[in-house]
Amino acid sequence: MATEDHKWMALAIAEAQTAFQKGEVPVGAVVVRDGKVLGSGHNLREARQDPTAHAELIALQQASQALNSWRLTGATIYVTLEPCPMCAGAIVLARLARLVYGAADPKAGAVETLYNIVQDPRLNHRVEVESGVCHAETAELLRRFFRARR
């Protein structure tokens, strides 16, 4: 599974690099099921002036359109940064099987760092989590972006 996870995370990193080039916080996401990319996205909050234009939501929307269903059962989402509460909630609501992410988010992480929304037993669905995949690369991309902003 590790080799597959790295393969798909590389696509999420490419999305994050696109966000970086656009001046967006470099976060990328890819939704995969049965070896096929169903949706991908990167942050577009600045371009769209939309607080909900997170990479995960864009990728989930594309995947739902590809399947003509909001239920993404059996799918995995690969994200370069630990999802925030909004995105973690959307991942649960979409019924994804797995979440694989790179860097932890000490300020808004809602999967393991500050909260654990995706595995909260009070909710009707739980998501398997794999963290730290390509951590060094995803964290460095974020560091470079914020260093340039300061």
Instruction: Clarify whether 56 is annotated catalytic.
Output: yes
Question: Could you say which of 56, 112, 128, 140 is catalytic?
Answer: 56
Would you give the DSSP letter of residue 125?
A: -
Contacts of 63 (CB under 8 A, 6+ apart): 31, 33, 38, 39, 72, 75, 94
- Asked if residue 23 lies in contact with residue 44, where contact means CB atoms within 8 angstroms, the answer is no
Separation CA 113–CA 119 (nearest Å): 13
Q: Active-site positions?
A: 56
